[in-house]
Structures are given as C-alpha cells and as structure tokens.
C-alpha cells in the first residue's frame, strides 16, 4: 500500500556511516590474514565508525536515536512471528527485529575490533599503537627483547612472562578469528533480513539506505 508521499528516514550521517561500515568491514575481513599493518588500520576505522554511530544514537536525528527504535526482545520475537505468518506491520524506521540485529552488529563490531587490538603483537613490528601490549596481562615484560642481559631468576621470570604473553595473544588471536566469522554470519543474516523485508513490504530498503527516503505506508509509529 505505497503512496507517493516520501519521508526522510536515514539522515546523511547514518547513510555515510552505513556504507563506509560495509566497505571497511569487508575490506578488514579480506585483509585479515595479511602480514602488513593495512588490516589493523582498516579494523581501527571500523571501530571509530561504530563509536561515532553510538554517539549519533544518543544525539542524532529522530530515526537514528536508539530510544526511538530499541525495544524489548519480546517485541522483536512477536515481529518475527508476524513475518512467518506473512503479515508483518510496517515501520517507518527500523522494525523491532532490525533493531536487535543492529544492536548485535554494533556491539559485535566493537568486540571484534577490541579483540583485534588484544591480539596485536610487537614481534616483527606488528603492533598498532602498541595497545595490544598495553592491555595485555603481563604489561612491559618484553622491554628488553633479547632478555639476555639478565641472569638467573630474573631471566627465567622474563622468559616465563614472555611465554604467558604469547599465550594471551594467541588466545585473543583465536577469539578474534571466531568473532570475525560470527560477525560475517550476522552480516549475511542482516542482508537476508533486508531483502525479505523489502519483498514483503514492496519497498526497496537498500535504495532507502542510499537516498534516505522511504515511501509512506499504513504504518506503525516510527
């Protein structure tokens, strides 16, 4: 039941944020096993983008505000049930299921980026701002990389600390890899959701995310 009336739903910030996130997310994914610093720079951009979006979720425009689209989980479950019966109500902004998916995508990106920092290592000059080391449990135990000027107990304890640090880094490396795979699955689910919802409501949501406009329909609030 489309009418000709168009509403501006996604402001310029949200649209730029979204498409940059898509590009940087897939670039970060594609450069994940490279040896150079490129992956860490791109991953850091993903983190900065998501932080900017969180700010916008509190101080941005009407449809971007979390308080205007976040809802209780039962509302999202009820919405998914209406999807199954083929009678989902139309929302001008994010529908309740999309709202929860967005929450998962934003927090997932934060966790993924943070675990990337924690899995960074100094070896081979691979650290980015050295934050992986700053956050790691054993701190500056590597200050003398050779460790050979030290003798006796101190040498042994440094070797021990270095081993512990390697274990911490490889734990975060594994965690980061798993988180990246989970995020990719979430992103695929998100894309499927967008396509399904577009089909059911006879509207092109991807185009709306480019132009910012949605056609008005017999609609639920927001």
Site residues (CB under 6 A) for ligand HEM? 14, 17-18, 21-22, 25, 28-29, 32-33, 39-40, 43-44, 46-47, 53, 64, 94-95, 98, 102, 105-106, 109, 112-113, 116-117, 119-120, 128, 173, 176-177, 180, 187, 190-191, 194, 197, 205-206, 209
Considering the complex, what minimum distance in angstroms separates the CB of residue 6 from ligand HEM? 16
The smaller minimum CB distance to ligand HEM, of residues 102 and 150, is found at: 102
Residue 151 CB, nearest distance to ligand HEM (Å)? 32
Nearer to ligand HEM, 155 or 171 (CB): 171
For residues 88 and 113, which CB has a smaller minimum distance to ligand HEM in the complex? 113
Write the DSSP assignment of 33-97 as a string of letters. T-SSSHHHHHHHHHHHHHHHHHHHHHHS-GGG-HHHH---HHHHHHHHHHHHHT-PPEESS--HH
Triad 116, 119, 122: Cα angle to 5°: 120
Shortest separation between residue 23's beta carbon and ligand HEM, angstroms: 9
**Pairwise CA distance, residues 34 & 36, whole Å:** 6
Helix (H) or strand (E) segment spanning residue 7: strand 6-8
Cα distance between residue 30 and residue 33, in whole Å: 8
């Amino acid at each position: 039941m489309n009418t000709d009336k168009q509403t501006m739903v996604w402001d310029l910030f949200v649209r730029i944020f979204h498409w940059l996130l898509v590009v940087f997310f897939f670039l970060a994914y594609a450069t994940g096993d490279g040896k150079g610093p490129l992956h860490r720079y791109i991953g850091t951009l993903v983190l900065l983008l998501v932080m900017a979006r969180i700010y916008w979720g509190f101080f941005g425009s009407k449809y971007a505000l979390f308080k205007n689209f976040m809802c209780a989980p039962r509302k999202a479950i009820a919405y998914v049930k209406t999807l199954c019966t083929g009678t989902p109500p139309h929302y001008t902004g994010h529908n309740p299921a999309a709202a929860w998916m967005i929450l998962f995508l934003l927090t997932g990106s934060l966790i993924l980026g943070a675990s990337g920092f924690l899995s960074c290592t100094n070896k081979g000059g691979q650290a980015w701002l050295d934050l992986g080391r700053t956050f790691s449990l054993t701190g500056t135990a590597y200050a003398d990389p050779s460790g050979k000027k030290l003798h006796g107990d101190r040498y042994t304890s440094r070797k021990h600390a270095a081993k512990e640090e390697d274990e911490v880094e490889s734990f975060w490396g594994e965690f980061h890899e798993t988180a990246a795979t989970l995020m990719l699955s979430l992103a695929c689910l998100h894309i499927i959701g967008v396509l399904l919802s577009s089909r059911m409501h006879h509207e092109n949501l991807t185009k709306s995310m480019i132009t910012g406009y949605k056609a008005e329909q017999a609609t639920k609030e927001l």
